[in-house]
Structure 1
Amino acid sequence: MTSSSISSPVPAVRLDSSGGRRLHEQAAELRAAGPAVKVALPEGVTAWSVTRGDIAKQLLTHPDVSKDAGEHWAGYRPGAIQWLYPWVDVKSMLTADGDEHERLKQAIGSGFSRSRIQAMRPVLETIVTRLLDDLTARPADGIVDLRAAFSYQVPTLLICDLFGVPDAQRGDMLRAIDLVLTTDLTAEQAETNKHDLYRTMMALIEYKRRTPGEDLTSHLLKNHELTEVEVVSTLILMIGAGSETAVALIGWAVYELLTHPDQLAAVLADPDRWADVIEESLRLHPPIMHLPLRFAAADIPLGEDVTIRKGDAILIGYGAHGRDPAVHTDPDLFDISREDKQHLAFGYGVHHCLGAPLARLEAAVALPLLFARFPRLALADPTTPPEPHRSFLGNDVTHLPVILDHLQGARPTAAEEGR
């Protein structure tokens, strides 16, 4: 890549990979600094960070903003930046514009139609019930990592079933998918994971060529217009996006309800309000903070003496919109009664996430059944926030320690405390 792509005479702010609270603090700092701010990313990449809600929406629908690195990123060399492989070097609807985007979207879109997603509810209920049965078999007063045992399992089990991933391949594939959102890897670790991603997707493809079925991988392979690279890329996108986003959504919703017993009581009293819980969780804790990358196809003036130049990379802060004080009053407060819960958790414009309805359905099934089974669910340590995932891309936690039946009924439930 040319020096104009990976370095800049303007000092760039290095994005922090601490995650958690720091993720939102830095977004607020960048928002205050200007409509776009140059930031330093791993492996020497510089991009314009956009964390103001109105500017993000403007650029997400701007005719001179592209997803095609090969066409519009100055000095781009495929494979030169290891950690960007699943975001830039792939050939899927994520990295395409116009007719090409529509072609690649249509290749998988029928599998995520409204009717197909709604038809998944019974399957989801079976998965969730099985996981809850497993939890019920554990000591009620012991500490359980709810992320590992539940919120991570629900989406990953479903997406692997949908794409026909055999049990023997799931561990390696999910480990590689999980590392895509980790932004403190060395270049060598990122390169290893790039190869692991490709290797595990090719293993699935080879398996499905031998034993095709009714799964979505077999569906992709029947589309003879797709190249092998496009099939691999689509699998990386859909299996990754189809699992990671819902994991964080379920986990953060549980955390916020357990720390706001009055709101938990309100939703348990009126189950129609689970949709409010889901949208408010997405607003306050978007699963994706920044989504790499977009590229300027022409100079784009933003005001305040800031112009994004043709060929520059752009990093949209999807997750910053929901906490923008210009968009929301008291943006850092969790409030399911908030009238305006708008967010960009699933993007905006033509690249709006195809799997957003599925993520919402997963939460809508998992959360009510969880609290029905464990009405005395409690955080193991309410005074300490869960350990965050180290990333400026994803917004998740590494563990969510809970007690399934805290003090086995000796104290009131979280919902009862809120009454």
Structure 2
Amino acid sequence: MDATATDIHGEAAALRGLGPAGRVELPGGVPAWSVTDAGLARRLLIHPRVSKDAHQHWPAFLNGDLPADWPLKVWMDIRTVQTAYGPDHGRMRRPLVSAFSARRVRALAPRIAETTDALLDDLARAAAATPDGVADLRTHFAARLPWLTVTALVGVPESMHDGFQAINDSVFTTDLTAERAAANSAEATLLLRELLALKTEHPGDDIASALVEAHHEGLLDDRELADNVWMVLGAGYGTTASLLDHAVVNLLRHPDQLDLAVSGRAGWDQVVEETLRHQAPVANFMMRFPTEDLYDEATGLTFARGDAIVINYAAVGRDPEVHGEDTDLFDITRATTREHLAFGHGPNYCLGAELARLEARIALPALFSRFPALELAAGADGLTPLPSLIFNGHRKVPVRLEGSTTR
């Protein structure tokens, strides 16, 4: 698999040609399965004998068979709710559930709307400051809104925003050198230590403080405390940034679809769900491991105990068996638009899914209302993907605000 992710969907289509799951080589020469079939993915995501914990159930990790400089090692080392199995998963999930309750998420709507308006002002200023009137929508809007939202939820002081964001922007790339990956880890450790010391001394109504309290109660050890704070920051930032990024790009490339949304003939919620299906923000999730030999009757495939399994969400979202032969087409009126797995499935369903949806449902209509003549300032091949097997987005989204309304 291409560590630079230059063609996620081309690669996904090729993998689909191998069957419901195919054998792949991850960066660093590590063998794995890539699951592209939606039905098989659903079954594996809820199977009680499929673990996410490399520390317990991946022989290659336990036996030291991985390359010393393996670029994806951080995804195995981390001890979070996303990598926990069995009772450990429930133990780590409990302190986070209340932070993402429906009531608490809905209460964030006014703050998200206010932040959106301020960022649209910033976007206009950024465009006005350039000779050609072009601004990077990802930097000034698509990435900024979820970053400001998740840092407020976690309780990161503004003075630490830039440091955390810089590491987040590079840690999810999968073409880093071992030296750069190690440097990122060291910088993250120092920042987390500073943040957790602050929250221990001055707790607040935020996720970091809640996790510190869980640590004091014995629910989390030192490593789990720091890693889960880092996980919430990264997941709450990168996924929503890519959702907004792809939603805007798809709408601008499909003006008929944009017209449906702006005119009210289709809902913005349909835009959000079709974007999640068509461009899953998490392209591939690292990794899962059968705790025993596992035979899948529907496909006839057998996964051996300890095999590494990657759920290829980019491919799953475009499974023609679910979405038809026009599955590559972006269509917000599609009958199956909500039948995606972009936020996972079953007990591992993403805690922040409704928050991401809320941010997009507020941000997208505000953007196109404020700048009705918004257009891409790059050709069909002018957008460079993030160099990441994990997050599916663009490095930059250059736009022009020509004809936009002013205040």
Decide which of 13, 38, 46 is 1:28's aligned counterpart.
13
Q: CA deviation at 1:99?
A: 2.2
Secondary structure in structure 2 of the residue aligned to 1:33: coil
CA-based RMSD of the aligned residues comes to: 2.1
Is contact 1:83–1:194 with CA below 8 Å preserved after alignment? no
- Comparing 123-132 with 190-199, which one deviates more in the overlay? 190-199
Q: Assess, with a 3 A threshold, how the Cα gap between structure 1 residues 37 and 138 changes in structure 2: closer, same or farther.
A: closer
Cα pair distance change 1:65/1:40, threshold 3 Å: same
Q: Give secondary structure in 2 for the equivalent of 1:338.
A: coil
Match of 2:295 among 291, 297, 301: 301
CA separation of 1:371/1:74 partners in 2, compared to 1, >3 Å: closer, same or farther? same
> Do residues 167 (structure 1) and 158 (structure 2) align?
yes
The residue correspondences of 1:218-367 to structure 2 (distance < 5 A) are 218-223=209-214, 224=216, 225=218, 226-270=220-264, 273-302=267-296, 306-329=301-324, 330-341=326-337, 342-367=339-364
Write out per-residue CA displacement over residues 51-82 of structure 1, whole angstroms, 9 at most, x where no aligned residue. 12222112112222111212211142489665
Between the aligned partners of 2:41 and 2:271, the Cα distance in structure 1 is 24
Q: Distance in 2 between matches of 1:90 and 1:44?
A: 21
- Contact kept, 8 Å, 1:85 with 1:194, in 2: the verdict is no
SS in structure 2 opposite 1:29? helix
**5+ long unaligned stretches in structure 1:** 1-14, 410-419
Deviation at 1:251, TM superposition (A): 0.9
Cα deviations by residue, 1:122-148 (Å, 9 ceiling, x for unpaired) = 110111111112233355560011111
Greater shift in the superposed pair: 125-134 or 244-253: 125-134
- Amino acid in the other structure paired with 2:13: A
- 1-structure distance, mates of 2:16, 2:266: 35
Gaps of 5+ in 2: none
Question: Are positions 1:207 and 2:198 aligned together?
Answer: yes
- Compute the displacement of 1:306 (Å): 4.3
Letter aligned with residue 62 of structure 1: H
Q: Name the CA distance, whole Å, in 2 between partners of 1:139 and 1:360.
A: 27
Question: Contact between 1:173 and 1:197, CA under 8 Å: does it hold in 2?
Answer: yes
Corresponding residue SS for 1:55: helix
| d(CA) in 2 for partners of 1:90, 1:158 | 23
Give 4+ residue runs of structure 1 displaced > 6 Å after superposition: none
Secondary structure in structure 2 of the residue aligned to 1:144: strand
State yes or no: 1:147 paired with 2:142: no
Residue 83 of structure 2 corresponds to which residue in structure 1?
95
- 1:1-12 paired onto structure 2 within 5 Å: none
User: What do the CA deviations read for 1:298-333 (whole angstroms, capped 9, x no partner)?
Assistant: 112347774221111111112211111122121110
User: Is the counterpart of residue 40 in structure 1 residue 25 in structure 2?
Assistant: yes
1:116 equivalent in alignment to 2:104: yes
| Match of residue 216, structure 1, among 182, 185, 207 | 207
| Identity level (%) | 41
Inter-CA distance 385–137: structure 2 relative to 1 (3 Å threshold): closer
In 2, Cα distance between equivalents of 1:147 and 1:153? 8
Match of residue 16 from structure 1: 2
Q: SS state of the match for residue 158, structure 1?
A: helix
Q: 1:138 to 1:294 in 2, by over 3 A?
A: closer
| Letter of the structure 2 residue corresponding to residue 310 of structure 1 | R
